[in-house]
């Protein structure tokens, strides 16, 4: 290996020195040597020190051990010293070589000086003095020219500050930087002058001040991007060689701009100054919060638009520069890809800053105290903000959407609690009088559902189904609306304007359709379907409406003020769903709770005086629905959830007067309003199914089939409360007990009790006719009422017939004559053809004629009759004691099995 090749190795290193210097054991020995051994020999006597520290007692083994240790330490120290000397050997050689080179150069310099002196000596002997004078003058002339040039430079340098200031005022940033740099180069060549050296320092200060000015202009770009200004700034920073640094600084300015804009947006709504943004948000009045949020979004949008225009300009600038072959442009494009990626990442970062500010405001502004209208306005603003974000950076705003969802669910539940309390109050104080509405009235006539006409109109659904399925239509419509919104918002980004997409919320006449963008009407609106003026009020003044003008239309609509209140609340809830489809199921469940509570309260109020057995009045679905609602109310009373306390029975309702058929008009209005409300909920179902997830549709179907569908079942128990009092059951049974059922001959005249019952029915019919002047009684209502009268009478007849202790064939014929005569009269009075439930009596009377086997099958299969009725039947029908005992045992066994 050559000497040159060895230069790459550490100087003075060989295998021996390495083994000596770098052995771990040697290093350990060096660490064990006491520091005093490294003292100067004049100050330290090593031998005496060792003797003074000799082992005690001085045994041979200890002395020998000590000697071995000292010898080992001496060897290590010697090796280390040798290693250090070896390391410095090459350095010493290099320094010595350098000294030799310097010696040679000095010798050459000395020879040159000697020759120069010899030449000068020759010149002084041969040249005249005048020649030297000329040379001296030429030298002076050169010096004076140099001085004049320096003075001119000095004069120009002194005006640099003024010229730079003028250029900056003209926004000629590149020229200002260029002038400073040229002046600095010129000053650097003449540092020998004290004044220019001082001026150079001032030029540096001017450059710093100019950069600060550039930074100030750069900061203003964050609020209002100006393409021309930014071009000049970028050119100036390119000249400074600080393009990347400027871009880093620009991003910091944008972050500061977001914070400052947020604080500026808060200032008009609070008197506090010099506070953190979060603290300021906590002092905003809830009534002012939506306007404050609007102002905040507008301010932040200006920053976002400025950055968007910056990125858009840079993308165009990049495309233009990529084609350039200029050397300077190529050098300037070295960092452009980095800047482009930086700008792209900045979109997300700035949007995250905006999201954080808006989220902080919403957390601190007392969202639960917002009035509903303000809350809806806030949702519209936030929806617009998420659309802006999608155009700005393509972000779906999951963070903000999740926060809005959480806060909105909390608000809606709290709002719903208030509506439930309000509904409880309304129900407890409701007069249950019919509101005057036209026969075609439905929820689409209410102002709250105006924006949903195109989705809920049955005619619309039919026209849509001819061309495509409902889900396809919704997807297409949603896509079109999304595209319209994107184009609408993109205009505010791409065009230089002082307007923002949030200005729409400053219009006092704004509608929800305006908020959602331009939506084409699927069919012309019908002015005749608009909400009547009476319904635009919160309550309808019943005293001012003449009830005698309400006709008994078969399609008449029976609603109450409370019914309208529930529908209006549902309309408000649908508005929330439209803004926040991701929580649609939660809101729909709250709507269903409104119906459940109304349904439950009507049943509770108007069946409290039910005096007959309810087993045949309640369907299985109705029973399970009432049980479910009751369990929900009772289970949530202690947990303070969505349900309120069970409503208390109203004291202002008179349900004991025979003249009013025990409050039948109120019962009719209550039941039919529930049925009408159920129909309106069914009208909403197709629309609701389009906005919930596929797996959630089963919940809607279950509610429709098991709650809405059983609304009509309420008619039976509630109408029975009045129907059961149409006939005096006690008097009728006493009258029936006075009839002799053991007659031998078949009677040709019906019994007196039949006339008594008929007179009661006639009185009932007259009073029912009086009720029809107050309530629109359509055929369904009348049939339901008379069906309950019929049901009560047939049970009354069976009860009276079962009280007969003795009954002959003639008596059985009399029974048939009585009930058939009674049903003929009832059919004429009620208009029901045929009279329902008469088979209940007919089967019972005919059972007296059954043979032994047939009678046994009857008592086993007919569970609708009570054991009392069956025992009376067996007692009268069976003359054989053994058969009678056997059938009695069967009946008693059936009772035990139940």
Q: What is the DSSP string of 760-802?
A: HHHHHHHHHHHHTTTS---HHHHHHHHHHHHHHHHHHHHHHHH
Q: What is the DSSP string of 160-173?
A: HHHHHHHHHHTT-H
The DSSP code for 127 is: S
Q: What is the pLDDT of residues 819-844, one digit of tens each?
A: 999 999 999 999 888 899 999 999 99
What b/e sequence results for 276-313 when a residue is b if at least 16 CB atoms lie within 10 Å of its CB, and e otherwise? ebeebbbebebeebbbbbbbbbbbbbbbbbbbbbbbeb
Looking from the CA of 118 toward its CB, the CA atoms found within 13 Å total 6
Of 151, 141, 143, residue with least CA distance to 190: 151
- Range of lowest pLDDT (102-116, 526-540, 626-640): 526-540
CA dist 178 → 237, 317, 578, 871, 891 (Å): 11, 23, 59, 120, 117
| Structure-token pair, residue 99 | 């000294």
Q: What is the pLDDT of residues 598-654, one digit of tens each?
A: 999 999 999 998 888 878 899 999 999 999 999 888 776 544 445 568 888 888 888
Question: So what's the pLDDT on residue 152?
Answer: 67
Q: What is the pLDDT of residues 286-335, one digit of tens each?
A: 778 888 888 999 899 889 988 888 888 888 775 554 445 555 555 555 56
- pLDDT grade for 483, boundaries at 50, 70 and 90: very low
- pTM of this prediction exceeds 0.85: no
- pLDDT grade for 708, boundaries at 50, 70 and 90: very high
- Is the confidence at residue 746, as pLDDT, over 80? no
CA pair distance 862, 122, nearest whole angstrom = 159
**pLDDT, mean of residues 484-500:** 68
- Is the confidence at residue 261, as pLDDT, over 50? yes
CA dist 812 → 424, 466, 861 (Å): 53, 63, 22
What b/e sequence results for 699-728 when a residue is b if at least 16 CB atoms lie within 10 Å of its CB, and e otherwise? ebeebbeebbebbbbbbbbbbbbbbbbbbe
Name 180's Cβ contacts closer than 8 Å, sequence gap at least 6: 160, 164, 203, 206, 207, 210
Q: What is the DSSP string of 223-279?
A: TS--HHHHHHHHHHHHHHT-HHHHHHHHHHHHHHHHHHHHHHHHGGG----S--HHH
Q: What is the pLDDT of residues 148-166, one digit of tens each?
A: 776 666 666 666 767 777 7
- pLDDT grade for 886, boundaries at 50, 70 and 90: confident
């Amino acid at each position: 290996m050559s000497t040159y090749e060895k230069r790459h190795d550490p100087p003075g290193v060989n295998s021996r020195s390495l083994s000596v210097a770098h052995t771990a054991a040697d290093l350990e020995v060096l660490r064990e040597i006491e520091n005093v051994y490294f003292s100067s020999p004049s100050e330290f006597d090593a031998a005496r020190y060792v003797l003074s520290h000799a082992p005690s007692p001085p045994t041979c083994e200890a002395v020998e051990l000590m000697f071995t240790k000292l010898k080992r330490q001496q060897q290590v120290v010697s090796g280390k010293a040798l290693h250090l000397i070896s390391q410095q050997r090459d350095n010493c050689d290099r320094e010595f070589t350098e000294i030799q080179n310097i010696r040679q150069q000095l010798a050459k310099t000395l020879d040159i000086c000697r020759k120069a002196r010899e030449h000068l000596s020759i010149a002084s002997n041969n040249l005249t003095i005048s020649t030297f004078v000329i040379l001296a003058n030429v030298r002076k002339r050169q010096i004076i020219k140099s001085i004049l040039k320096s003075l001119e430079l000095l004069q120009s340098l002194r005006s640099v500050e003024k010229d730079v200031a003028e250029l900056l005022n003209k926004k000629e940033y590149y020229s200002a930087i260029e002038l400073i740099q040229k002046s600095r180069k010129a000053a650097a060549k003449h540092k020998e002058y004290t004044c220019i050296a001082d001026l150079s320092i001032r030029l540096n200060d001017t450059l710093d001040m100019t950069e600060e000015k550039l930074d100030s202009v750069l900061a203003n770009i964050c609020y209002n991007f100006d393409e021309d200004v930014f071009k000049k700034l970028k050119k100036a920073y390119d000249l400074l060689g600080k393009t990347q640094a400027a871009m880093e600084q620009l991003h910091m300015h944008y972050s500061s701009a977001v914070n400052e804009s947020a604080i500026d947006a808060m200032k008009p709504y609070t008197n506090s100054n010099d506070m953190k943004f979060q603290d300021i948000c906590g002092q905003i009045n809830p009534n002012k919060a939506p306007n404050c949020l609007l102002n905040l979004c507008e301010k932040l949008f200006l920053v976002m638009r400025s950055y968007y225009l910056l990125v858009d300009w840079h993308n165009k600038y990049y495309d233009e520069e990529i084609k350039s072959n200029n050397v300077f442009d190529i050098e300037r494009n070295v960092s452009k890809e980095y800047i482009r990626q930086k700008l792209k990442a900045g979109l997300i970062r700035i949007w995250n800053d905006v999201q954080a500010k808006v989220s902080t405001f919403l957390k601190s502004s007392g969202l639960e105290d917002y009035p509903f209208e303000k809350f809806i306005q806030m949702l519209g603003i936030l929806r617009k903000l998420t659309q802006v974000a999608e155009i700005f950076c393509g972000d779906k705003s999951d963070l903000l959407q999740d926060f809005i969802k959480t806060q909105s669910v909390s608000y809606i539940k709290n709002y719903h609690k208030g509506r439930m309390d309000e509904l409880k109050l309304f129900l407890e104080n409701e007069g249950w009088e019919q509101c005057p509405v036209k026969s075609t009235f439905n929820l689409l006539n209410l102002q709250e559902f105006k924006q949903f006409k195109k989705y809920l109109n049955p005619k619309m659904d039919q026209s849509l189904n001819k061309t495509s399925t409902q889900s396809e239509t919704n997807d297409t419509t949603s896509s079109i609306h999304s595209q319209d919104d994107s184009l609408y918002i993109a205009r505010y980004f791409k065009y230089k304007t002082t307007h923002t997409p949030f200005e729409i919320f400053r219009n006092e006449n704004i509608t929800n359709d305006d908020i959602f963008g331009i939506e084409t009407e699927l069919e012309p609106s019908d002015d005749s379907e608009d909400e009547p003026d009476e319904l635009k009020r919160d309550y309808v003044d019943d005293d001012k409406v003449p009830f005698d003008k309400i006709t008994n239309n078969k399609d008449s609509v029976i609603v109450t003020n409370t019914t309208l209140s529930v529908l209006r609340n549902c309309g408000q809830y649908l508005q929330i769903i439209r803004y926040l489809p991701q929580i649609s199921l939660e809101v729909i469940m709250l709507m269903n709770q409104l119906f459940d509570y109304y349904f439950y309260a009507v049943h509770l109020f108007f069946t409290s005086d039910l005096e007959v057995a309810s087993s045949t009045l309640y369907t299985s679905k109705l029973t399970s629905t009432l049980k479910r609602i009751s369990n929900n109310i009772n289970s949530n009373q202690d947990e303070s959830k969505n349900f309120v306390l069970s409503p208390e029975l109203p004291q202002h309702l008179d349900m004991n007067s025979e003249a009013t058929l025990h409050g039948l008009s109120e019962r009719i209005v209550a039941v039919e309003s529930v049925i009408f409300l159920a129909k309106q909920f069914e009208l909403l179902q197709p629309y609701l199914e389009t906005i919930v997830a596929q797996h959630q549709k089963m919940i809607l179907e279950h509610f429709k089939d098991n709650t809405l569908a059983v609304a009509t079942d309420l008619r039976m128990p509630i109408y029975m409360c009045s129907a059961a009092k149409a006939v005096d059951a006690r008097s009728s049974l006493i009258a029936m007990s006075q009839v002799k059922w053991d007659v031998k001959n078949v009677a040709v005249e019906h019994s007196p009790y039949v006339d008594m019952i008929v007179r009661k029915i006639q009185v009932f019919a007259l009073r029912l006719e009086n009720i029809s002047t107050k309530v629109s009684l359509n055929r369904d209502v009348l049939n339901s009422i008379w069906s309950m009268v019929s049901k009560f009478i047939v049970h009354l007849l069976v009860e009276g017939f079962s009280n007969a202790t003795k009954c002959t064939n003639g008596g059985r014929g009399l029974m048939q004559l009585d009930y058939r005569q009674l049903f003929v009269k009832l059919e004429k009075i009620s208009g029901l053809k045929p009279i329902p439930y008469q088979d209940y009596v007919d089967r019972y009377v005919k059972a007296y004629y059954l043979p032994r086997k047939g009678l046994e099958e009857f008592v086993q299969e007919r569970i609708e009759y009570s054991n009392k009725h069956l025992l009376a039947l067996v007692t009268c029908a069976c003359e054989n004691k053994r058969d009678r005992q056997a059938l009695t045992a069967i009946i008693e066994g059936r009772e035990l099995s139940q």
